[in-house]
Amino acid sequence: MNFSRRQALQLLAGATPALALPKVFAQSIAQPGFNVTPGAFTGTRDSLKSYAIPDWFADAKFGIWSHWGPQSAVGDGDWYARNMYIEGTPQYDYHLKRFGPQSKVGYKDLIHLYTADQWDPEHLMDLYQKAGAKYFFSMGVHHDNYDLWNSKYQPRWNAVSSGPRKDIVGLWASAARKRGLRFGVSEHLSNSFDWFASAHLADTKGPYANIPYDGQDPAFADLYHDYAAQPAGYASRFVANSHLGMSREAPDWWKLQYFNRVKDLIDQHQPDLLYTDGGIPFEQYGLGTVAEVYNAAARNLRDHTEGVYFSKSVEDCAIGTCILDRERGVSQEIWPAPWQTDTCIGQWHYNVGETYKTPKKVIDLLVDIVSKNGNLLLNIPLPASGLPDDRELAVLAGITQWMSINGEGIYATRPWKINGEGPSMQVKVAQAGFNEGKQPDLGPADIRFTTKGRSLYAFVQGWPTQSELIIQSLATNSPGKALDVRLLGRDEPLKFTQDTTGLRVTFPTTKPPAADIGVTLRINFI
């Protein structure tokens, strides 16, 4: 049975998620060669060393992310598509109870749950902009190999041809750019080949023992990957050693597909920012992807690219090349170049009943990160419908209230000579990602600093318990004699004295809005 490309796409438009793609059509989707779009960057490490971080990113400080796809639709948290196939995990048990055995109902059969039937990107972007976001991220593709745009090289498993049947990336991009926000996408694709190894196994015990999971069916190799050429035991090895599931061990044909898939995403939506989940992958293919971002992005008056690419490898970003991203992590000192923390108010994928970060926790992270030359990218996870739950909206409202008063001390600022003072400064944790949970909660004795022009901003992370606050770092001659001290959100100057013990500021008797989260002093010097 022969299909033209057009006929096959028409067939797929009405197909159920589990429809097998005719083999002849699957083979007809030709992969172009490795071809970086010509521009200032050639996709070599030497070429990328000349990259300079654009000022707009250093000014932006705060972004919001929609880490949203079919795995979120299940409502059982992170890495569902992998863990549902691993016996003994909570998500395996959850899947078996809710949907039935994995040999009969696989991940492909759950994609229809991703409906986006109450998703309103225009309304959500209004909320995100009001909360103070200066850039916005859509997830482009997660490890589950499902593209959230009208993907040229993944025609069956994308959000236009299945699931919500909408160009999620494109609609997010339009809403963000309409409001003047920079637009980014995240790709987690390079890890997918070995991450999905669990779908190629079978139960080892019970009534379904030795019955292959659907990942072994060649009809769905375009979702779960083609393991036909892999050695015996390949899938078992990657599941037994969970750390290998993110190793990016993959054949060359997959590396080329990775490059072309992400290039297609860049070509279609021209993102200002691209986040990759890990270091730059697959050497020439990953470096070529970085060059694609920079060559496709707009250029400023100095003829420098306005594009941004994130890597989680300090080595990748040591000289030019990219911006360092610390997943759920903070720096222990002021970093010499702008950097980013990406984190979430809960789990990355929506989880029913999840306990969320409070607005104060988010703001504590934000001011600490900004004081150290960083930006915060915050994920607000969406459920299947695309409508945030009430508790998420409450967190967003708390952030919005604080940012509307204190944002002046956040945006377009730079670090001072020290980032802060107070008891929290005595707590040291490992300089790495995933350390945010080891950071202490901040209180009114904890102060963080930023500068802009002739102003120094002192973030006081709670309402002082006494009427007078002493900022020891601002003693006489450090950085000079104070002339004027005011609380952001209030017009009247505050009373203060300054001596060798510090700057002593008398606070008003009534709290301003959001003061329990923190307040900000703007201090000008002679």
Domain range 5-327, CATH class: alpha beta
- Please tell me the pTM assigned to this model: 0.93
Instruction: Return the exposure string of 483-512: e unless at least 16 CB atoms fall within 10 Å of the residue's CB, then b.
Output: eebbbbbeeeebebebeeebbbbebeeeeb
The residue count for the chain: 526
Same topology between domain 5-327 and domain 420-525: no
Whole-number pLDDT of residue 205: 95
- Report the first-to-last Cα separation within the chain, whole angstroms: 83
pLDDT given for residue 213 in this prediction = 98
Name the burial class of residue 168, with classes exposed (0-12), middle (13-18) and buried (19+) by CB atoms within 10 angstroms of its CB: buried
Tell which CATH classification among 2.60.40.1180, 2.30.110.10, 2.40.50.100, 3.30.930.10 matches the domain 420-525: 2.60.40.1180
How far is the C-alpha of 34 from the C-alpha of 42, rounded, in Å? 12
Amino acid 307 reads: G
Contact call for residues 524 and 482 (beta carbons, < 8 A) = yes
Average pLDDT over residues 170-197: 97
Q: Supply the pLDDT for residue 22.
A: 38
User: Do residues 432 and 339 make contact, with C-beta atoms less than 8 angstroms apart?
Assistant: no
Across 254-338, the runs of DSSP E, i.e. the strands, are 273-276, 308-311, 323-327
Q: What is the pLDDT of residue 4?
A: 36
**Closest to 295 measured CA to CA, from 14, 499, 50:** 50
Mean pLDDT estimate for the chain: 92
> How far apart, in whole angstroms, are the C-alpha atoms of residue 79 and residue 67?
12
Contact, 418 vs 473, CB < 8 A? yes
**Nearest residue to 267 (alpha-carbon basis) of 164, 149, 122:** 149
Q: What is the pLDDT of residues 258-310, one digit of tens each?
A: 999 999 999 999 999 999 999 999 999 999 999 999 999 999 888 899 999 99
Confidence of residue 17 (pLDDT cuts 50, 70, 90): very low
335-385 confidence digits (pLDDT tens): 999 999 999 999 999 999 999 999 999 999 999 999 999 999 999 999 999
Q: Output b/e per residue, 289-322; b: 16+ Cβ within 10 A.
A: bbbbbbbbbeeeeeebbbbbbbbbeeebbeeebb
Q: Which of 258, 297, 260 is nearest to 276 (CA)?
A: 258
Residue 93: name the closest of 167, 203, 184 by CA. Answer: 203
Q: Say how far apart CA 194 and CA 248 lie, in whole Å.
A: 7
Task: Name the nearest CA neighbour of 362 among 180, 187, 132, 188.
Answer: 132
DSSP letter for each residue of 394-463:
HHHHHHHHHHHHHGGGTTT-B--SS-EESGGGG----SSSS-GGGSPPP-TT-EEEEEETTEEEEEESS-
Q: How does pLDDT run across 122-139, given as a tens digit for each residue?
A: 999 999 999 999 999 999
Secondary element (H or E) of residue 368: helix 359-371
Q: Is the separation of the CB atoms in 180 and 172 below 8 Å?
A: no
pLDDT greater than 70 at residue 23: no
Closest listed residue to residue 320, CA positions, set 332, 301, 338:
338
What percent of the chain has pLDDT above 70? 94
d(CA 53, CA 329): 21
DSSP state of 511: P
Distances (CA, A) of 77 to 59, 146, 199, 356: 33, 17, 18, 13
Provide the residue ranges of all domains of the chain, joining segments of one domain with +.
5-327, 420-525
